Chain A
Amino acid sequence: MKKPWLHILLALATEDRYGSAIQEEVRALSGGEVRLWPATLYGSFEELLEAGWIRQLDEHEQPGGAGGRERYYRITPSGRAALSAEARRFDAMAHTVRTRLGEESV
């Protein structure tokens, strides 16, 4: 999974958010390490929309009501599935690393 995708999905895992709120959440989650600049952020939204992992909230679903200017995004069930598949991949990778380092028996 592309790094920006992972970060965006993570930011959306707990609640629906809009563009700059996602950017801030990603920054906070990574301890200031990861910054998604506008072009990457919005470009990734499009890719994630296309993959069906996130969806854009309809106007009546928006927290601010129909009048809100911000476009909110929500993670979809397949997005959650992709995220937990990624987590399993990390686990497997971590397991391999520890085994190789001799910190854990096979």
Chain B
Amino acid sequence: MLAALYRAALRLLPRWLRDRHGEAMVELFVRDVRAERRRGGALAAAAAALAALTDVLRRGWAERGGRARRGDRRSGAGAEDHDTMTGRVGVMGSFKRDLVHAVRSLVRAPRFTVAAVATLALGIGSTSAVFTVVDGVMLRPLPFPDADRVTQLAWERGGGMAISVPYYKVHFWRDRARVFDALTTYAVLARTLGEDANDALPVRALGVDREFFPTVGYAPVAGRALVPDDQRPGGERVALLTFDFWQSRYGGDPGVLGRSIRLSGTAHTVVGVMGEDFDFPYVNGALHVLVPLALEPNPRDESENFPILARLAPGVGPALATADLERVWAEFQQEHGEIVNGSDEGMTLASFQRVYVGNRATVLWVLAGAIAMVLLIACANVASLLMARTTERRREMAVRSALGASRGAITRQLMTESLVLAVVGGILGVGAAWVGVDALLALNPDPLPRADSIGVDGRVLAFTFGVSVLTAFLFGLPAALPASRTGGSGPWSMRTTSEVSAGRKVLIGAEAALSMMLLFGAGLLVTTFVQLTRSDPGYDAGDVTSIEFPGIARAVPESEALAELETRAEAALSEMPGVHGVGWTSSLPLERGLNLPVGPDDRPDEVIGATEWRSVSPGYLEALDLELVAGRDLGFGDVRGAEPVALVNETFANYFFAGDAVGERIAIGRYRGQFIAPELEGPPSLIVGVVADQRDISLRSEARATVFVSRAQMPSLLAGPGKLLVEGPTDRAALDQLLAGLERVAPELSTARVSPLSSVVAASLVSERFHAVLLGTFAMLALVLTALGIAGVVSYDVRRRRREIGIRMALGEGAGQVVRGVTAQGMRPVLLGLAAGIVGSLFLTRALSSLLWGVTSTDPRTMAVVAVTLSLVALLASWIPARGATRANPVDALRAD
């Protein structure tokens, strides 16, 4: 396609040059672009294509100036090209003259100019906004010195990849690998700063180890980095401040070094301050302090909490690094067979993009593709406007041609006008992008990695300029090029009006096809969202209120007292009027809870490693209307001291016990015969009931094996503050009563955060909503632009045929018949385009399939709805101008020329 565009652009050059070298130029262009693509990817290839295209333009102007100087050998034209002052005209002189002429001509046609510039600003602006985000998140290098040597390591296991690994593995790979200069891990920790617990300032701390600094390549600007002693558990606690926090909290006071600060109640000595340029994109949002992670590597602790970041030694390539990682993996397997799972494949190098952008990359590429379509539609509209305008300027062209302007000169003149339009559109577009990026990021619920640093900058400006020039070629060339078929001798021969109509109809068809694809994609995402919203998750969130108690762990630190408080609150609330069910749980549906290995007590080798674990009170099932398919619910008798009991869901029961699980015993937290934490040790739990499956990990995924244990029996350490679910009236007054009731039970329960459970469900669908809204917006934009394009073409057609229509009506043809005829003509290209669009969408929407749920990428129902919508809009867009035609006074119409 680029080659075709370039070939068309060559017509800006004088004919003789084109005849002699045209083929060679196209060939060289294709080679250049291919070479750039190999060297630097698609973006570099596009930049090369753009450079080659502008080179043609420049050459066109140079030829025009140069020909006069060299005493033109091909045509008598050229006298007008002489600059009267210097006697010579360079590229710039020639370009300047075209530019002045273009601006004058555009100013004389304000309605056309405003319409074209507005369309372009919209198209280019939204393209730039999307590019800003895609570039900021995916294309730009990481902000570390020598960033290409910094890599992430991930744990490869059959079919998947774990970004975080147990600390022991961090330790092992750091010890054994030889290809890294440094290898580190980190964790974001929520801390409070200040003496008084009630008045503490919440701060975000980054837990790091001492190799963190050489890995990322930043050292503190004041004080020191970490030393081995800092990481000794039980040693003196130290902390480093980030630059911004040092400025805002301590006013940039250098005396802060050595001072003691209290982080979450523990004294830490400030030993260093990070520089202003320190930037850690793996974590979103501001960081305030860095503290050492004090961890003991323990092979039995398999909680996967630590990502690995490493800096390759200079000169080490991916092949060498991979070989080294494999060697370490072999050692690990040999020495630690007991903690290797069958599906494990060891460590692998993983780029930031692969790890963090991950499935968001699909979304971003879909966005990029969608916006490219919108831009193409905008280009088609402007091209169509330009074509109509060029026909209207036939006389002007004929005059200029008669005065000696060559075809090339006129073509270049028209191209200059297009360039002016595109650049003005681009400048306004940057403004639109500025606003658009913020809107895009504000709309996106799922924080994009590195979102903080996304903004319009030099790269974006360069991109926007490039896109503007490229669009100028796209929309300008079709209208600027003389029609080859009608070419010939005599005065400048422009296309006939009917040829222009035909050209514009092709554009309309293309727009309809693109709109169809966009609308279909958007329709699928909207359907996905609706399907998920309507789907039955297995529980009823409708009239359930969830109440959290943020300060309860501090107010009631002893787990015994807390358990007693929970029991009293449950009893008190369930007696309140209107309340149908009350229950406590460790995590709400759709909230990630604790995962533990669980398996049958008598089969120690069989275990589901990541069983969803929830500790609930006896009222939990009732509050959520969960169905008990076998056995009994938890009861108030299941307390500490009594035999430990558990409920399991159907998935768990089917996996181990062929569905018949009641009466079986399971070991919770036991892995390969050993409990992963001493608190979990104890007698096995008796399964007393089986609960129907629910999709409570995510609405998109099937139920995961789950165990529910009695809150009153569970090990104290895993308790954590519970969340209360109340089924009953959810109006303001009822909620106030609930809170008053809680306060009567215990004043500690008065600080509560109340939210309807349905909002938790809705919150789990924010990404789906974002996708639907965004693609929907683009599709709407495309639809509106297409409608405007259709209306423009039909009204132009009607004006051209005013005379014919007038005669037909004067001869007695009814208005309705005329409208039908005109509308039908307008609709023909739309319907053809629509058909092409349907075929195209069947291929394109496959890219969306990972984002869809409950609908296939070829869903006929969505397809039908979208096609009908598009047809109706197109019908309206052609009917309105058609009807206008019949309103004209036949006499006026007949007088029209």
Contact = CB atoms under 8 A, between A and B. Distances in A.
Q: Decide whether A and B assemble into one complex.
A: yes
Interface of A: 19-20, 23, 35, 37-43, 45-47, 50, 71
17 contacts: A19-B24, A20-B28, A23-B28, A35-B51, A37-B52, A38-B21, A38-B24, A38-B25, A38-B26, A38-B28, A38-B29, A38-B52, A39-B58, A39-B60, A42-B17, A47-B66, A71-B24
A39 B70 contact: no
Nearest to B30: A38
Given A35-B51, A38-B28, A43-B13, 13 more contacts: A37-B52, A38-B25, A39-B10, A39-B25, A39-B52, A39-B56, A39-B58, A39-B59, A42-B21, A42-B25, A43-B59, A43-B63, A71-B24
Nearest to A2: B62
Contact of B28 (A19, A43, A46, A47): A19
- Interface SS of chain B: helix
Contact of A38 (B32, B62, B63): B32
B17 A46 contact: yes
A40 B55 CA distance: 7
B504 to A, nearest CB: 30
B346 to A, nearest CB: 40
Nearest to B29: A38
A45 B21 contact: yes
B828 interface: no
Contacts of A47: 66
A39 B61 CA distance: 12
Contacts of A43: 13, 17, 59, 62-63
Contacts of A39: 10, 13, 25, 52, 55-56, 58-60
Most central of B51, B56, B59 by chain A CB within 10 Å = B59
Interface residues of B, number: 24
A92 to B, nearest CB: 24
A47 B17 CA distance: 11
Nearest to B13: A39
B428 to A, nearest CB: 29
B554 interface: no
B21 A37 contact: no
B20 interface: yes
Contacts of B60: 39
Contacts of B24: 19, 38, 42, 71
A67 B169 CA distance: 66
Interface string B63-98: 100100010000000000000000000000000000
A23 B17 CA distance: 18
Interface in B1-23: 10, 13, 17, 20-21
B32 A37 contact: yes
A55 B28 CA distance: 21
A40 B17 CA distance: 11
Most central of B13, B20, B28, B31 by chain A CB within 10 Å = B28
Nearest to B25: A38
Contacts of B70: 50
A34 to B, nearest CB: 12
A6 to B, nearest CB: 16
CB-based closest 5 A-B pairs: A37-B55, A38-B25, A42-B21, A39-B59, A39-B56
Contacts of B27: 20
Most central of A20, A38, A43, A46 by chain B CB within 10 Å = A38
A41 B26 CA distance: 12
Contacts of B58: 39-40
A37 B28 CA distance: 8
B23 to A, nearest CB: 10
Contacts of B63: 43
A20 B55 CA distance: 16
B477 to A, nearest CB: 15
A64 to B, nearest CB: 15
Contacts of A20: 27-28, 31
A103 B439 CA distance: 59
A41 B62 contact: no
B96 to A, nearest CB: 19
Interface string B27-60: 1110110000000000000000001100110111
Contacts of A40: 55, 58-59
Given A20-B28, A41-B28, A46 B56 contact: no
Contacts of A50: 70
A40 B59 CA distance: 6
